[in-house]
Structure 1
């Protein structure tokens, strides 16, 4: 539906469910809009139309989606030898700047790095004829919309703009009205598909206890016909923890989340695509646009934030006409949130059944063999694992963290070892510090030494202390006299005060 309109140069707003081919929907018209040497050789363009500056720009919200869109465009433009360059953070600047200097035809990038290079005058956007905003609603959720507007202000006014997304919030529509000229809104759906979710995905929702979820996931991953699987978590810490638990249970698991370096994230995705890892535990950074063949199961370990996130998560399976299974585990605390999602998507899971790893209906619905335990049998551990995929040295700020896929986990271990050494030092026995109290250069009774002096009051100057020390003599009490008009007065405290008063009276009598 998109190709005839977009090839004519008209602005397009494309809206469709996940897995319906949006990438090539904008990719093919975009590749046709650029002029390459093959066009000059074929007589379709004049030599002066060739340029080394980018002629098309694709803006995407996440690094993983940037890499995937680049690979798709390179595959589609291979026959015409179109130069496509990915630009995103986590990598070194120098290779990207060198590639821009040599010349590129299409740039695919994330907003932050694009603005950075444009501000340094390394990226020339004055020749861009076609702009594509992919997953625009996700850019809105991540707070990238102001950056996208800055990028659009740097582009020529005369250009083709295409905006593609699965959902269209009001702010995205407002962006389209400001920057697009009479766009054609194309909303694609199958004739018999009236629901908001993809019809060929079988959905299951269970109310599960948080301490039993890992056991449930381990048994679901042993279901009949299970291919590649993705497990989604809401937090980075949970994703790392679940990946470690599954690895200990014998599964070939990798993780993708924000605490990992870029090299470790790409290592896990490559291992997942190549089949060395068959379980990918990730946060919502991998819920958008990631297209991997053979994903049969998606498991929501934690309830998603909203209905849009739910749609994109389960959309990683059942792509391009295939079938898939989506399982959502809802904790007791998340029931109100799930009921809002259920109502927004008009689903039939208002009150999920209480389910445990031993529940018979779990085995029956997901076709898990009877007697399956939470550990993968050794005979079925045939995958090479994450360590079989090498980590690429990207040279960026995260390069040190991405060694061996450890990422932030290695740094945490090193920090823990340093903390342990500090605690051992603190626990070591300390020699108490001895203080000597003095006044006017003379030792004063008090503390440990004062006690020793009190114990031996009769010691003479020869035995009072070590050579070079002040003699520890007992302190003479200071006597105070109260005077009134130059004469001694009566009063005072204690014995000294009484004596001083008597002396004053005697002086008055005389």
Structure 2
């Protein structure tokens, strides 16, 4: 393989080569060098290569060449009638994180030509994505669920698509997305270019290619000195570790000499959250990415990891596909993966694009049979891992850990800004659910104010007939004690005797309304006021309050 070949020599547009050179990408990798001539000719392609070897640009560059943008019309490469606001190319990926990664790569390569690339995936609000589609896009990168949703609502027009890419097709098979992918393919024009890229090729993926691709060229690429299924420049270590000692071991591994960014993989969401919390308590700048987090929190952690505010990312296998972050030197498998494909994609986060990396796998006693199956499938030399603890000398020697290292990061070395320094982006759906969380509090604070008038209205409704019937004769009588309750009902902050009488009167009248007629109650109130025995009235009413339904004696 001639590694001195440049992208310009492979026939891509000068503007695309200029955009790549601006970010330091000059020489293609084997999968790119073999794919570009075939794909640029419009032929269907099945590309198979190890993870981390540049598959994204292998299909991304031909994809960008297939769309027509105003810059092509200005340079005379296309006619004005070929321009359209509908998507001309579609990329289907299995995960949200990979969707962002592919979008960023395509935007970088199409920057000089001003190619409009839009990412569409779940966890974000519909409205911004629909508005972007209305304004016009050239390339759409999306996950199957949201693509199918918007296409079903007629928000996404697929009638102008000239090129289709299925990236990480084996992962879409594992996640159960192939039926959705087939529905999307059936919405596309029959005349199109289809490219399928994947690290592995299960039987169902091959049958999908046979149904929907037209005489595809199958390309398998690898470097001449890279044999086996794992990348040659990734050093692998496997240790048998106790689950109670793993946090201490990881804390010491993270203090190895030359350690840059590190990714720690767990099988379960709960374990990932727990490990990230423990490492934060030990002084490490750690973030987490797993399914229990909202999309905003996941993107916050990934941005902080890329920006260097966090140097340890603890994640489940959702981040094992397509996450391409420069400077990842260590990958730690905190728990043994389920199968060999997961292992390959986990350790493929380091040693990417020709860089070197270190992969450490901690196998619990219960996971030894599972690990031995992975070891046999990948033809590795770690069938019986050494029993290792956080104080084992061979752990320090093999991973280049200083002997003075303990399980807590020294304060002098805590120089990262941390996850809190990265702002959480408002993503519409996720942000709206948080903002709605504040509204119930406001509603709860208003409920006592709205509930109290309802009680008073109920009381006034019961008293209106009584006061109308009881106060008029009292006013005609000319007694000074009868009008006092009528005034007290309107002004509660009056004297204590009057307030006490008015506070007790509604209770008495509610009781008599349920038991005796209203006119009898009014007569009792008149008689009690005429007798003028203020000391006896409170005692009688308190007694009847406690007894409940006992009638009041006149």
- Fold in common (TM above 0.5): yes
Could you tell me how far apart the structure 1 residues matched to 2:549 and 2:251 are? 77
CA distance in 2, matches of 1:164, 1:348: 29
Q: Which runs of 4+ in 1 moved over 3 A?
A: 397-403, 466-469
Q: Secondary structure at the match of 1:206?
A: strand
1:371-386 paired onto structure 2 within 5 Å: 371-386=404-419
CA contact (8 A) 2:296 2:430 kept: no
Deviation by residue 1:323-379 (Cα, 9 ceiling, x = unmatched): 000000000000000000000000000000000001110000000000211000000
Partners of 1:399 and 1:361 in 2: how far apart? Answer: 51
Equivalent residue for 1:392?
A: 425
Matched position secondary structure for 2:372: helix
Give a deviation string over 1:111-137, Cα, whole Å, max 9, x none: 000000000000000000000000000
Does 2:206 match 1:209?
A: no
CA shift digits 1:22-81 (9 cap, x unpaired): 000000000000000001111111111000000000000000110110011001000100
How far is 1:399 from its partner? 4.8
State the partner residue of 2:265.
232
1:192-226 Cα deviation digits (max 9, x unpaired): 21111000000000000001000000000000000
1:321-360 matches, cutoff 5 A: 321-360=354-393
**What runs of 5+ residues in structure 2 fail to find an aligned partner?**
1-33, 438-546
Equivalence for 2:314: 281
The 3-state SS of whatever aligns with 1:124 is: coil
**Matched residues in 2 for 1:31 and 1:467: separation?**
84
Preserved CA contact (<8 Å) 1:255 1:281: yes
Determine which of 134, 152, 159 is the counterpart of 2:185: 152
Bigger shift: residues 389-398 or 278-287 = 389-398
Report the alpha carbon displacement of residue 306 of structure 1 after superposing the two structures with TM: 0.3
Residue 93 of structure 2 corresponds to residue 53 of structure 1: no
Name the TM-score, length of structure 1 as normaliser: 0.79
Structure 2 partner of 1:83: 116
Structure 1 unpaired stretches of 5+: 408-465, 470-510
Q: 1:468 to 1:182 in 2, by over 3 A?
A: closer
Does the aligned pair in 1 maintain the 2:262–2:313 contact within 8 Å? yes
Is 1:218 the counterpart of 2:261 in the alignment?
A: no
Paired residue for 2:512? Answer: none
Q: Would the alpha carbon gap of residues 253 and 399 (structure 1) be closer, same or farther in structure 2, given more than 3 Å must change?
A: farther
Residues 267-325 of structure 1 show CA distances to partners (whole Å, capped at 9, x for unaligned) of: 00000000000000000010001000000000000000100000000000000000000
Aligned-partner Cα distance in 2 for 1:397–1:190:
43
The match for 1:11 is: 44
> How far, CA to CA, are the matches of 1:359 and 1:467 in structure 2?
78
Distance in 2 of aligned mates of 1:17 and 1:343? 18
Which residue, 290, 293, 310 being the options, matches 1:257?
290
Query: Is residue 311 from structure 1 mapped to residue 337 from structure 2 by the alignment?
Result: no
Tell me how far apart the structure 1 counterparts of residues 174 and 229 of structure 2 sit (CA, whole Å).
Answer: 20
Q: Deviations over 1:391-450 (max 9, x none)?
A: 1000114654599xxx9xxxxxxxxxxxxxxxxxxxxxxxxxxxxxxxxxxxxxxxxxxx
Tell me the TM-score normalised to structure 2 length.
0.72
Aligned to 1:146, the other structure's residue is in SS state helix
SS of corresponding position for 1:327: strand
Task: Tell me, yes or no, if structure 1 residue 139 matches structure 2 residue 172.
Answer: yes
SS at match of 1:320: helix
Query: Pick from 134, 138, 160: which aligns with 1:127?
Result: 160
Quickly say closer, same or farther: Cα 1:242–1:350, change in 2 above 3 A: same
| Structure-1 residue corresponding to 2:215 | 182
Instruction: State the partner residue of 2:35.
Output: 2
Shift of 1:390: 0.5
Structure-2 change in CA distance of 1:358 and 1:305 (3 Å)? same
Report the alpha carbon displacement of residue 19 of structure 1 after superposing the two structures with TM. Answer: 1.0
Q: Give the whole-Å Cα distance in 2 for the aligned partners of 1:244 and 1:58.
A: 36
8 A contact 2:241–2:362 mirrored in 1: yes
